[in-house]
């Protein structure tokens, strides 16, 4: 019984003459005091690689050559099946490198060499949650209770900020009117300027500082 034909996408590679799988572990050498040599920390394996060599023969070999070259040039993920990868659970690959040959005097025959690399599916995107998703950690209080409290604090901060901005506008308007006053006749706006001075001290506060004073901080 002949082995199954390797398939790259929808293209059957009927005459593969040589195949090789490559596996590399990602290891970090970690020096340890008192240890001769380094401890090896396993960071997980790298993607599987498969190297293939074979020929395309027959009256449709030129057409198959064109299909194979297009797949290699596109750089897209392709389904791949072959006996040599049975134990690897390898489903999707990309063509990393491809080479093709033709020989004079041998029509309808083309050689190829391919390097395929595993392209595993990406994990689901991380979801942000309060306190970095520390589920099950006893924080000593109910974090959900902060929702209403922080909402009220932010509302008060917004109201206080609006009041500060209104005070700044009032100070600017009073200063503009004072500039128009006849200094020889006395300045009738002096009481208003005194009041504006007290408003200026409030206006110089940031919303955070004013809020702190309002809360007794």
Is 80 exceeded by the pLDDT of residue 136?
no
| Residues 142-167: tens digit of each pLDDT | 656 555 656 666 676 777 777 777 77
Band of pLDDT at residue 45, cut at 50, 70 and 90: confident
Note if the pTM is more than 0.85: no
**CB within 8 Å of 53: residues ≥ 6 apart:** 16, 17, 18, 19, 111, 112, 113, 114
Q: What is the pLDDT of residue 203?
A: 47
Instruction: Answer whether 61's CB lies under 8 Å from 111's CB.
Output: no
Q: What is the pLDDT of residue 117?
A: 95
Is 70 exceeded by the pLDDT of residue 1?
no
């Amino acid at each position: 019984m002949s082995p199954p034909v390797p398939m790259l996408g929808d293209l059957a590679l009927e005459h593969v003459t040589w195949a090789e799988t490559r596996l590399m572990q990602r290891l970090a050498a970690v020096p340890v005091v008192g240890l001769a040599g380094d401890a090896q920390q396993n960071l997980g394996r790298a993607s599987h690689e498969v190297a293939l060599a074979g020929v395309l023969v027959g009256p449709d070999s030129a057409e198959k050559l064109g299909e194979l070259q297009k797949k290699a040039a596109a750089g897209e993920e392709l389904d791949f099946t072959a006996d040599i990868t049975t134990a690897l659970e390898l489903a999707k690959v990309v063509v990393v490198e491809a080479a093709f040959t033709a020989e004079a005097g041998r029509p309808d025959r083309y050689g190829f060499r391919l390097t395929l690399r595993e392209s595993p599916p990406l994990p689901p995107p991380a979801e942000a949650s309060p306190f970095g998703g520390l589920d099950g950690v006893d924080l000593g209080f109910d974090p959900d209770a902060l929702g209403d409290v922080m909402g009220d604090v932010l509302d008060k901060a917004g109201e206080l900020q609006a009041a500060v901005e209104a005070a700044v506008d009032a100070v600017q308007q009073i200063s503009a009117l004072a500039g128009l006053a006849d200094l020889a006749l006395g300045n009738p706006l002096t009481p208003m300027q005194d009041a504006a001075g007290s408003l200026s001290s409030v206006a110089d506060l940031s919303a955070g500082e004013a809020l702190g004073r309002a809360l007794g901080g």
